[in-house]
């Protein structure tokens, strides 16, 4: 908890002072102070002005005087700022001792704001007709990072991956294989998901313009897939299973994992949709159109917007008709029609399960919860808003369905050109249907090779195995960090060269700070004694580093409350910047024994804290780079 202990001490003492002034239930805030204004700032004087009928700066003086008797704990000094804020200064030696010792604990940075509350979080959910491209990676990384952060914040999180194995895009590749003569086997060395996306899907969709009759064939294939009884449906299951297997390899390569795979085909064939359809009718949330452009369709009544077609005039359901029962299932609003079985064991040794409609003896599982988070890009905002509104009405306001939205990813013109895409000097907006995209695997391969070449130059003595491990770590870190360092509502323009820079806001810059710390520890040849004389750490760069190490749990709380992985990315960068300033200005090894030990303890604390913080966004910390 470290810095939070300082905040708790101040809050407790301020509550005593307010009680003495006969003020109760005043919700004031304590925030880490800006540089030059102590360590903690409080707005209590502004909030107490009405009750005490005094100006904030007068109340700040009163509180400062009253607080003098509490000095001697973690607070060494308190000042009233002319603006009315009350600023608190920590006892640096005591705070350093607290932060450095606690940083070595396995659960450092953990908080329990979740108190075990169950959350169902769905992410990835890539159509099983192609490989993941870099746009999909943002979904994977945002979702996986939020799982890690929410678990650190005390929530019980279960992870779902929705497999749309019965949609139009699956029908497209099926048509390519069954009617256009595509081989079921890719060329030597090509992943099956790459082959399906790069060749079968793109070339099949191109055919629709010159041969419009193919669209009618596609519609028939789609209906057979949804019904699930024909040889066509069985072939579709076989193909999507092969694609999914390859997609998961990419996700695991990125460090993501899941609890359960949920197949759309099973949702369609289950009894969920009739239940939901009847409920929608009973609650008058849908209507049947007898004329107009939606004649003979069932539509969702959308307030202030165009009504959304739910069931077409030919009786087939639109994709929203599949998403609504799935959302209701995730929230536990319908009986669970599924059985479960093991799909595989993932690289992290976690068992991955899947839904099935086939009865078996495997234990029944429960992946529903009262709070559901679905990670889907902003282009699905209208659909997600409709589902959110329906779920609120279904659940009588007791359930929470959250759409965690994010913007798209583009490729810089330089990166697109280096990967064989001619974009005319502009960033590349990707499209799977047009074949304008870059597979995530190709980006990772490119990043790995660039890292490997640079690491060999810097560390010629390392073995090939060690060099490749570093390259893999840095490549994954680079891609993950670029996906979350910006606000989710901002479009990302990804550039391979800039992202690998050892300067600026990049993953390699942060990882390199960790490697620097490793070299200091190695050169010191000293085992730290945590019972150090921490009051010797009085250089400003030392104190700044102590204080930012102490704020990890505050960052976790902020990130969890706001569903913002950027908060952790920003914290990691700030931590690395602080350490690099310390590294440049403080001669760690040129010190007396007591000071050397205190500084080595601080370096250990930095390493431990950074490792835990980076783990929250799925990034490893190599000791050499």
Same domain assignment for residues 454 and 589: yes
The confidence score (pLDDT) of residue 434 equals 65
The model's pTM is 0.94
CB count in 10 Å sphere of residue 563: 17
**Domain end call among 45, 61, 90:** 90
Q: How large a percentage of the chain has pLDDT more than 90?
A: 76
> pLDDT at position 35, please?
84
Nearest to 500 by CA among 617, 412, 611: 412
Read off the CATH number of the domain in which 24 is found. Answer: 3.30.1360.70
Residue 413 is predicted with a pLDDT of 85
pLDDT in tens, 41-92: 999 999 999 899 999 999 999 999 999 999 999 999 999 999 999 999 999 9
In b/e form, how buried is each residue of 134-158, taking b as 16+ CB within 10 angstroms? bbbbbbbbbbbbbbbbbbbbbbebb
**pLDDT per position as a tens digit, 13-50:** 999 999 999 998 899 999 989 888 999 999 999 999 98
pLDDT at residue 228, rounded to an integer: 83
Lowest mean pLDDT among 175-179, 212-216, 543-547: 212-216
Q: Please state whether 519 falls in left (phi above 0), alpha (psi between -120 and 50) or beta.
A: alpha
Q: Is residue 99 part of a domain?
A: no
Report the 10 Å Cβ neighbour count for 553.
Answer: 22
The 10s digit of each residue's pLDDT in 398-448 is 899 999 999 999 888 888 787 777 777 777 776 666 666 778 999 999 999
**Local confidence band at 536 (pLDDT 50, 70, 90 cut-offs):** very high
- Return d(Cα 614, Cα 145) in angstroms, integer: 10
Structure tokens at 519: 């070299």
Out of 256, 288, 318, pick the residue that ends a domain. Answer: 318
212-225: average pLDDT: 90
444 and 310 inside one domain = no
Do 300 and 447 sit in the same domain of this protein?
no
pLDDT (mean) for 324-349: 95
CATH classification of the domain holding 485 = 1.10.730.10
Please tell me the distance from the alpha carbon of residue 108 to that of residue 113, in angstroms, as a whole number: 15
Tokens standing for residue 221: 């294939």
pLDDT at 396: 75
pLDDT score recorded for residue 420: 72
* Burial per residue of 586-619, b for 16 or more beta-carbon CB atoms within 10 angstroms, e otherwise: bebeeeeeebbbbbbbbbbbbbbbbebbbbbbbb
**Mean pLDDT of all residues in the chain?**
93
Average pLDDT over residues 86-112: 97
User: Which has more pLDDT, 335 or 228?
Assistant: 335
Flag whether 175 is in a domain: no
Q: Is residue 363 part of a domain?
A: no
**Residues 523-542, mean pLDDT to the nearest whole number:** 94
Say yes or no: 463 and 607 in one domain: yes
CA angle 503, 508, 513 (to 5 degrees): 80
Q: Which residue shows structure tokens 């059985």? A: 339
Contact assessment for residue 267 and residue 335, using Cβ atoms and an 8 Å cutoff? no
Note the Cα 559 to chain centre separation in Å: 10
The answer to whether 552 and 4 are in contact (CB under 8 A) is: no
Q: Which domain holds residue 40?
A: 3-90
Residue 498 clears pLDDT 80, i.e. is over it: yes
Taking alpha carbons only, the member of 147, 356, 134, 95 closest to residue 257 is 147
Predicted pLDDT at 61: 97
Whether 290 is covered by a domain: the verdict is: yes
Residue carrying structure tokens 């921490």: 534
**How many domains in the chain?**
3
Give the residue from 75, 90, 105 where a domain finishes.
90
Does the residue 79 lie in any domain? yes
pLDDT in the model for residue 625: 87
Is residue 272 in some structural domain? no
| pLDDT confidence bin for 156, thresholds 50/70/90 | very high
Dist. CA 26–CA 159, nearest whole Å: 39
């Amino acid at each position: 908890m470290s810095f939070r202990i300082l905040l708790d001490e101040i809050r407790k003492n301020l509550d005593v002072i307010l009680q003495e002034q006969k003020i109760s239930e005043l919700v004031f805030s304590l925030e880490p102070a800006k540089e030059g204004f102590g360590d903690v700032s409080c707005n209590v004087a502004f909030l107490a002005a009405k009750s005490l009928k005094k100006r904030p700066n007068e109340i700040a003086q009163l509180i400062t005087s009253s607080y003098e008797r509490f000095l001697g704990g973690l607070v060494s000094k308190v000042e009233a700022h002319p603006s009315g804020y009350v600023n608190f200064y920590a006892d640096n030696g005591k705070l350093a001792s607290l932060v450095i010792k606690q940083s070595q604990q396995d659960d450092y940075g953990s908080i329990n704001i979740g108190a075990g509350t169950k959350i169902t979080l769905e992410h990835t959910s890539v159509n099983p007709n192609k490989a993941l491209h870099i746009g999909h990676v943002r979904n994977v990384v945002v979702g996986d990072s939020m799982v890690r952060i929410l678990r650190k914040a005390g929530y019980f999180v279960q992870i779902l991956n929705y497999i749309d194995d019965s949609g139009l895009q699956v029908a497209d590749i099926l048509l390519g294989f069954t009617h256009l003569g595509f081989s079921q086997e890719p060329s030597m060395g090509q992943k099956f998901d790459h082959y399906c996306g790069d060749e079968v899907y793109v070339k099949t969709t191109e055919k629709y313009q010159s041969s419009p009759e193919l669209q009618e064939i596609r519609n028939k294939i789609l209906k057979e897939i949804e019904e699930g009884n024909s040889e066509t449906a069985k072939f579709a299951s076989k193909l999507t299973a092969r694609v999914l297997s390859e997609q998961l390899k990419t996700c695991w390569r990125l460090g993501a994992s899941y609890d359960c795979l949920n197949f759309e085909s099973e949702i369609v064939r289950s009894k969920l949709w009739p239940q939901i359809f009847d409920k929608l009718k009973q609650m008058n949330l849908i209507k049947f159109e007898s004329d107009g452009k939606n004649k003979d369709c069932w539509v969702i009544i959308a307030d202030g917007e165009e009504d959304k077609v739910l069931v077409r005039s030919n009786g087939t359901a639109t994709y929203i008709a599949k998403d609504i029962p799935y959302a209701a299932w995730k929230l536990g609003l319908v009986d669970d029609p599924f059985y479960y079985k093991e799909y595989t064991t993932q690289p992290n040794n976690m068992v991955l399960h899947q839904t099935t409609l086939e009865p078996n003896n495997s234990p029944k599982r429960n992946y529903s919860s009262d709070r559901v988070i679905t990670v889907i890009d902003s282009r699905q905002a209208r659909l997600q808003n409709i589902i959110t509104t329906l779920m609120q009405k279904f659940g009588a306001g007791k359930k929470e369905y959250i759409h965690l939205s994010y913007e798209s990813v583009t490729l810089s013109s330089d990166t697109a050109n280096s990967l064989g895409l001619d974009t005319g000097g502009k960033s590349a907006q990707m499209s799977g249907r047009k074949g304008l995209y870059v597979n995530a695997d190709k980006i990772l391969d490119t990043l790995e090779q660039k890292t490997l070449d640079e690491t060999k130059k810097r560390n010629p003595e390392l073995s090939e195995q060690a060099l490749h491990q570093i390259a893999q770590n840095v490549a994954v870190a680079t891609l993950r960090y670029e996906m979350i360092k910006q606000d989710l509502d901002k479009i990302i323009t990804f550039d391979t060269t800039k992202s690998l820079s050892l300067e600026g806001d990049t993953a390699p810059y942060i990882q390199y700070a960790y490697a620097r710390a490793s070299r200091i520890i190695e050169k010191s040849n000293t085992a730290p004694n945590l019972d150090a004389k921490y009051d010797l750490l009085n250089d400003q760069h030392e104190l700044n580093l102590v204080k930012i190490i102490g704020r990890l749990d505050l960052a976790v709380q902020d990130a969890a409350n706001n569903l913002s992985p950027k908060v952790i990315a920003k914290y990691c960068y700030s931590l690395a910047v602080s350490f690099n300033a310390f590294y440049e200005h403080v001669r760690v090894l040129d010190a007396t024994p007591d000071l050397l030990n205190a500084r080595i303890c601080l370096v250990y604390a930095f390493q431990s804290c950074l490792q835990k913080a980076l783990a929250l966004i799925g990034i490893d910390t190599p000791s050499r780079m």
